[in-house]
């Protein structure tokens, strides 16, 4: 079956195939020689940290101060760190692509990939005092952890910067030195494996002393010098000083094989090769100077000559190898790729690939190959799509995708979603692998990290245009990327007008949603660029978002304007309270007077909390009516109305409130009169209304005084008569009441006379006034006074048949035969007419 040009890099470690994939060749600076360097490489195609190896004699070039240089995988320098701390013990990379540096006193420094320091923390006092000799950076479920070994042989472990350090158990017979050690993560726990002589010691948290495992090797050796744990922390490799290699499970209960490498020299590194199409590991790769050895579980081997110095980087689906002149990746060959490209492959995907090639050549053999895989063509299409995702070469990807496209035409109702998804992802992966981006990740790594992390890494590297295109291509929101781009502009472009113009131009695209100019303005404020922050806030249409930043900037006039524009009373209140804390009252009043809603809310706040402040506002505004009301309320509460009435009246008069000013004058006169009358007649009139004052005077018989008050205060005559009628009836002065009724025509009529008499149960007095009432009311009053005979006569005189019928139903008339006959006769007479 087909032999593609990329199979030349395949090699077999029985029974599996492995391959070397060539990545972008690094172009290191001329002054960088990796042979004399200590290199730490971040996984997932991340950056490299390079510094002089203190164990090697290095010709000094430039400054003698230690420097850590940071490169991407193509050899482009991204940043550097002038190391001015203590002795550097270890370096490593976090899962967030942060460089972690551990110095001799157990202090950990964290830098970003551009060499900027982010934070620092300590592993603990004991480790700091006793000093450390070795350190490891490891990944755990809690994040990126650090483990250190002190000069006293103790191991301390910190699972992330926020957690407290943990002291691991004592090493048995600690007087004997350990030759190697490694950290293993198991679920939420991390523990340490140490190699010492011919035994492995396990230090598990919570135990008092470590457990020893010995006699793992069958062949004789002196000591274990290398330990390697697989990427998934399931497998363990041990290497001895005699060149023996032991492979087994990490708990050392299962042994895969024991292999004699035949080499006596010290290996540089040893890493497990994780499988690309599952989560297992079947082989380890061991690097020596100018030599690379691969050994699998079946004790089969493959070796290659290599550059004198190489650095191995364990990945989740292989091992990367970085040298002075190359960058490669070793992987176990994915099964789907082997099925298609292996020599003499009889798999359906291989036949389909050949059928598509013959179809392009317009050969009749295309149909022959197609007939060989027609029964399993859906499986063949799926394998071609999967194989394309594992390939690094764009031409091979295209060939496999063309094959899948060709094959799916023969499948009824084929769902193309997976084909489209893989094609989109491959376009993104090819972009990331380009030397300008320098993120050579695999499809499996891309799926593990997820697209949000990939975009975040692009944004952090300032590849904004690429990140936006990737987001669009994968149908993901791009607004947050633009927001980060805007942050970058704010921090680095000194021209405020130009920055605001560029940001507006980028954000006016209707497809961009969810961007807040306020977040960008906040960054501008943090950078000390308040003018730019104001310009950016003006672009934000949602006024309520302006307020927090404007308050922080002490731009109170704009803040109260934005809060008022939003119409949110709680927000306005918050602004006013903040202004009250930081502004002089006079300035505060001048600021809010142009915002009526804010002014009214402020008045309400002052009314409830500090009424004295209210007077200041009214004074500033020259609001005489409000000043009068303020004094009036104070006078009521302090019971000082009399002394303040003249001031209140003057304020009303200045505010052109004539009616209120007159009322104040009348009230003042009334209070003075009440005091005089109270003293004169020994009664309490203070605080009474005019109505009540007149009534009290009538009750004590001072008619003349009452009439004088009526005249002075223009009390209506009808009201005065009512007061006299009520007073006389309550005192049973019936003769006085009769005289009042006869004195002149009553302005209130005579119904009140009848009503007060009946209220006092005096029907005989009421009889005097009923004839003087209106015709339509007489019958009613007679009935209420139980004068039924007069009621019948009045109804008959008025020819009111309806009232007669009502009288006929009255129980008192029903029980009185004479009256009943009289009603019948009157009704008969009126109906007869």
CA-closest candidate to residue 269, choices 306, 312, 303: 312
Supply the mean pLDDT for the chain: 86
Q: Say if CB 137 and CB 100 are below 8 A apart.
A: yes
pLDDT at 738: 81
Do 552 and 565 touch, CB atoms closer than 8 A? no
Q: What is the DSSP string of 721-786?
A: HHHHHHHHHHTT-HHHHHHHHHHS--TT-SHHHHHHHHHTT-HHHHHHHGGGS-HHHHHHHHHHTT
Q: Is the pLDDT of residue 48 over 80?
A: yes
The residue ranking higher by pLDDT, 286 or 787, is 286
| Residues 272-287: tens digit of each pLDDT | 999 987 888 889 999 9
**Coil, helix or strand at residue 574:** helix
Alpha carbons 452 and 461: distance in angstroms, whole number: 14
Sheet holding 235-240, edge to edge: 224-229, 235-240, 244-249, 255-260
pLDDT of residue 44: 95
Range in 607-621, 725-739, 792-806 with the lowest mean pLDDT: 607-621
Q: Is the pLDDT of residue 426 over 60?
A: yes
* Residues in Cβ contact with 268 at an 8 Å cutoff, skipping those fewer than 6 apart: 287, 288, 289, 309, 310, 312
Q: Is the pLDDT of residue 786 over 50?
A: yes
In angstroms, the first-to-last Cα distance of the chain is 133
pLDDT tens-place string over residues 705-723: 778 878 777 888 888 888 8
Query: pLDDT over 90 for what percent of the chain?
Result: 45
Which token pair is 265? 């020299």
In terms of Cα–Cα distance, which of 375, 346, 360, 333 is closest to 1?
A: 346
CA count, 13 A, side-chain hemisphere, 479: 13
Q: How many CA atoms lie within 13 A of 119 on its CB side?
A: 6
Q: For 576-587, what is the mean pLDDT?
A: 78
pLDDT at residue 585 in the model: 74
What gap in Å lies between CA 68 and CA 274, rounded to an integer? Answer: 30
Rounded CA-CA distance 513/515 in Å is 6
For 197-221, the pLDDT digits (tens) are 999 999 999 888 899 999 999 999 9
Q: Which of 168-172, 387-391, 506-510, 694-698 has the lowest mean pLDDT?
A: 506-510
pLDDT of residue 1: 38
Domain boundaries, the chain: 658-715, 716-773, 788-832
Q: Does domain 658-715 have CATH number 3.30.70.330?
A: no
Rounded average pLDDT over 468-472: 92
pLDDT-derived band at 800, boundaries 50, 70, 90: confident
Closest CA to 158 of 81, 102, 228, 210: 102
Q: Quote the pTM value.
A: 0.73
Q: Does residue 386 surpass a pLDDT of 90?
A: yes
Q: Assess whether pLDDT exceeds 60 at residue 369.
A: yes
pLDDT digits (tens, 9 = 90+) for 698-708: 788 878 877 88
Please state the length of the chain: 833
**Residue 654 pLDDT greater than 80, yes or no:** no
Find, among 586, 552, 559, the residue nearest to 573 by Cα: 559
Query: Can you list the pairs that 59-66 forms with residues at least 24 positions away whose Cβ atoms lie under 8 Å?
Result: 61/31, 62/31
Q: Is the pLDDT of residue 397 over 90?
A: yes
Which of 178-187, 329-338, 666-675 is the least confident region? Answer: 666-675
Q: Predicted confidence band at 567 (pLDDT cuts at 50, 70, 90)?
A: confident
| pLDDT of res. 101 | 96
Res 830: pLDDT: 77
The answer to whether the beta carbons of residues 588 and 613 sit under 8 Å apart is no
- Residue 645 or residue 386, greater confidence: 386
147: left (phi over 0), alpha (psi -120 to 50) or beta: beta
271 forms bridges with which residues in the sheet? Answer: 285
Is pLDDT of 627 > 80? no
Give dist(CA 506, CA 477) in Å, integer.
15
Average pLDDT in the 436-448 region? 95
Contact by Cβ (8 Å): 563, 598: yes
Q: Could you tell me which residue, 472 or 678, shows the higher pLDDT?
A: 472
CB 778 within 8 A of CB 750: no
Q: How sure is the predictor about 748, in pLDDT bands with cuts at 50, 70 and 90?
A: confident
Mean pLDDT of 787-792: 80
């Amino acid at each position: 079956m087909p032999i593609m040009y990329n199979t030349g890099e395949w090699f077999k470690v029985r029974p599996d195939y492995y391959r070397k994939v060539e990545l972008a060749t690094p172009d290191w600076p001329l002054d960088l020689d990796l042979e004399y360097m200590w290199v730490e490489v971040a996984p997932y195609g991340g950056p490299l940290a390079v510094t002089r190896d203190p164990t090697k004699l290095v010709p000094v070039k430039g400054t003698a101060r230690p420097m850590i240089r940071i490169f991407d995988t193509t050899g482009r320098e991204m940043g550097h760190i002038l190391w001015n701390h203590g002795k550097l013990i270890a370096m490593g990379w976090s899962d967030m692509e942060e460089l972690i540096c551990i110095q001799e006193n157990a202090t950990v420094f964290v830098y970003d990939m551009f060499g900027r320091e982010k934070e620092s923390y300590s592993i603990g006092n004991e480790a700091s005092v006793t000093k450390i000799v070795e350190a490891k950076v490891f990944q755990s479920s809690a994040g990126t952890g650090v483990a250190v070994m002190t000069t006293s042989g103790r191991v301390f472990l910190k699972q992330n910067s926020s957690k407290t350090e943990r002291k691991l158990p004592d090493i048995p017979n600690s007087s004997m030195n350990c030759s190697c050690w490694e950290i293993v993560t198991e679920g939420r726990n991390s523990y340490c494996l140490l190699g010492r002589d011919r035994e492995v010691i396990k230090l598990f948290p919570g135990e008092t002393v470590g457990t020893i495992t010995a006699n793992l090797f069958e062949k004789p050796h002196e000591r274990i010098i290398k330990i390697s744990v697989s990427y998934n922390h399931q497998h363990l490799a041990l290497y001895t000083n005699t060149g023996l290699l032991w492979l087994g499970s990490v708990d050392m209960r299962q042994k895969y094989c024991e292999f004699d490498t035949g080499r006596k020299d010290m290996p540089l590194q040893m890493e497990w090769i994780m499988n690309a199409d599952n989560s297992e590991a079947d082989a380890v790769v061991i690097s020596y100077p100018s030599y690379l050895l691969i050994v699998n579980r079946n004790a089969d081997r493959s070796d290659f000559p290599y550059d004198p110095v190489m650095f191995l980087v364990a990945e989740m689906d292989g091992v990367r190898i970085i040298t002075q002149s190359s960058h490669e990746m070793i992987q176990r060959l994915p099964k789907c790729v082997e099925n298609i490209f292996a020599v003499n492959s009889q798999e359906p995907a291989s036949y389909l690939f050949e059928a598509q090639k013959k179809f392009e050549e317009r050969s009749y053999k295309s149909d022959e190959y197609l007939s060989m895989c027609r029964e399993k063509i859906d499986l063949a299409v799926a394998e071609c799509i999967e194989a394309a995702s594992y390939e690094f070469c764009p031409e091979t990807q295209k060939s496999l995708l063309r094959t899948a496209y060709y094959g799916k035409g023969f499948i009824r109702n084929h769902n193309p979603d997976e084909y489209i998804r893989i094609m989109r992802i491959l376009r993104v992966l090819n972009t990331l692998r380009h030397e300008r981006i320098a993120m050579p990740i695999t499809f499996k790594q891309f799926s593990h990290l997820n697209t949000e992390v990939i975009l975040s890494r692009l944004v952090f590297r300032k590849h904004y245009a690429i990140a936006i295109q990737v987001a669009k291509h994968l149908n993901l929101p791009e607004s947050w990327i633009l927001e980060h781009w805007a942050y970058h502009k704010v921090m680095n472009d000194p021209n405020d007008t130009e920055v605001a113009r560029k940001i507006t131009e980028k954000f006016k695209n209707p497809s961009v949603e969810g961007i807040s100019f306020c977040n960008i303005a906040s960054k501008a404020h943090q950078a000390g660029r308040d003018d730019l922050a104001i310009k950016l806030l003006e672009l934000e249409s949602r006024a309520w978002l302006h307020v927090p930043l404007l308050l922080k900037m002490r731009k109170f006039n704009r803040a109260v304007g934005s809060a008022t524009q939003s119409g949110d009373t709680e927000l306005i209140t918050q602004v006013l309270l903040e202004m009250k804390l930081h502004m002089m009252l006079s300035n505060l009043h001048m600021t809010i007077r142009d915002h009526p809603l804010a002014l009214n809310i402020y008045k309400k706040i002052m009314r409830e909390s500090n009424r004295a402040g209210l007077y200041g506002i009214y004074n500033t505004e020259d609001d005489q009516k409000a000043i009068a009301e303020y004094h009036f309320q104070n006078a009521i509460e302090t019971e000082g109305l009399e002394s303040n009435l003249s001031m209140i009246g003057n304020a009303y008069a200045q505010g052109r409130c004539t009616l209120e000013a007159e009322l104040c004058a009348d009230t003042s006169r009334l209070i003075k009169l009440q005091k005089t009358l109270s003293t004169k007649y020994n009664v309490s009139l203070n605080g009474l209304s005019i109505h009540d004052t007149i009534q009290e005077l009538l009750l004590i018989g001072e008619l003349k005084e009452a009439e004088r008050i009526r005249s002075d205060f223009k009390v209506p005559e009808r009201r005065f008569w009512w007061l006299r009628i009520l007073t006389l009836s309550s005192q049973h002065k019936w003769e006085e009441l009769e005289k009042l009724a006869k004195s002149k025509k009553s302005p209130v009529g005579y119904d009140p006379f009848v009503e007060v008499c009946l209220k006092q149960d005096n029907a005989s007095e009421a009889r005097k006034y009923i004839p003087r009432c209106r015709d339509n009311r007489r019958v009613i009053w007679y009935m209420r006074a139980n004068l039924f005979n007069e009621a019948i006569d009045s109804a008959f005189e008025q020819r009111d048949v309806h009232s007669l019928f009502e009288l006929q139903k009255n129980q008192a008339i029903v029980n009185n035969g004479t009256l009943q006959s009289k009603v019948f006769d009157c009704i008969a007479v009126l109906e007869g007419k």
